[in-house]
Structures are given as structure tokens and as C-alpha cells.
């Protein structure tokens, strides 16, 4: 496993400031996480690339209380696109563009650094099955 001496800038841009400070202070402990985030970033579709997909990859997820923002596209500058699930008010949920810098500078958001295999549609169904249909990826 690669041991990082610094966090690559393109990966650091994804991480909220309070998490970034913690990761920097314990860098050897987070090498596996940094490597995973780097790979996720390399595989992340650019803006507009998932437009005709039946299901969208949940490449990155930001969490704040009962709100989850699942990102499926990133322009590699500051714009990301994804689905915001507001479990307290499902009617405020939906597909949106975000400025990544706003998400990472808000001390209330945390980047989910744990690996996952679900699509955005899979996450929506698991969290709120009464509002979302079971996606094909969860069939079988």
C-alpha cells in the first residue's frame, strides 16, 4: 500500500476542512482512505456524462444531519452534480449542481470516507423506500 507524505491537492479539494486537518495530523493512518478517494476521483464522471444513465454512481457522499448529498459528476474545478436527499423534508430533495468549495468549507458537512458500492438510486431506495422505487442494481 502506498504511504502518502502529503495529500494530493486534487484529493484535498474533496475533503471538508475539519476532516482534512484531522487526516493531515494522522496521515499514515489515512493512506488507504486517500488512495481510495484518489481512485474514486479518477473514475468520477465529468459534468454531463451520466445524463442518460438509468442509475448514477454515488462517487462521493457528503453528510449533514438528515441530509445526504450524493455526487455523481465533477468538473475537476469547483462544480459537482448530484442528488440531495433531505430525509426531514423529502420534498426538498432533488438533483442539483453544487460548488464543491461551499460543501468543503461548511463545517457542518462531512465527507463519507467509508467505501460503498451503491448507486445514488440504491441509496435513495434504502433510505426512503416509500418514496423511491427499487433500482435494477438492487434486484435479485
Per-residue pLDDT tens over the stretch 92-125: 999 999 999 999 999 999 999 998 889 999 999 9
Per-residue pLDDT tens over the stretch 15-25: 999 999 999 99
Residue 12 pLDDT > 90: yes
Q: Model confidence at 2, in pLDDT bands (50, 70, 90)?
A: low
Q: Which helix (H) or strand (E) holds 106?
A: none
Give me the domain span that covers residue 20: 9-138
Whether 131 is in a domain gets the answer yes
Whether 32 is in a domain gets the answer yes
Residue 137 pLDDT > 70: yes
Sheet holding 60-64, edge to edge: 94-99, 79-86, 67-74, 60-64, 110-111
pLDDT number for residue 5:
82
Radius of gyration over alpha carbons of the chain, in Å? Answer: 15
pTM here is: 0.93
* Tally of domains in the chain: 1
Whether 34 is in a domain gets the answer yes
Alpha-carbon span 39 to 90, nearest angstrom? 32
Alpha-carbon span 69 to 29, nearest angstrom? 26
Q: Model confidence at 88, in pLDDT bands (50, 70, 90)?
A: confident
Whether 4 is in a domain gets the answer no
Amino acid at each position: 500500500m502506498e504511504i502518502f507524505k502529503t495529500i494530493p491537492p486534487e484529493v484535498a479539494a474533496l475533503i471538508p476542512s475539519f476532516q482534512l486537518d484531522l487526516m493531515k495530523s494522522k496521515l499514515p493512518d489515512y493512506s488507504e482512505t486517500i488512495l481510495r478517494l484518489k481512485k474514486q476521483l479518477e473514475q468520477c464522471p465529468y459534468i454531463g456524462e451520466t445524463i442518460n444513465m438509468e442509475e448514477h454512481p454515488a462517487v462521493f457522499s457528503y453528510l449533514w444531519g438528515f441530509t445526504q448529498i450524493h455526487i455523481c459528476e465533477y468538473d475537476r474545478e469547483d462544480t459537482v452534480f448530484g442528488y440531495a436527499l433531505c430525509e426531514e423534508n423529502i420534498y426538498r430533495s432533488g438533483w442539483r449542481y453544487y460548488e464543491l468549495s461551499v460543501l468543503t468549507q461548511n463545517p457542518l458537512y462531512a465527507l463519507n470516507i467509508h467505501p460503498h458500492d451503491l448507486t445514488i438510486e440504491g441509496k435513495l431506495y434504502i433510505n426512503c423506500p416509500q418514496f423511491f422505487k427499487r433500482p435494477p442494481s438492487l434486484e435479485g
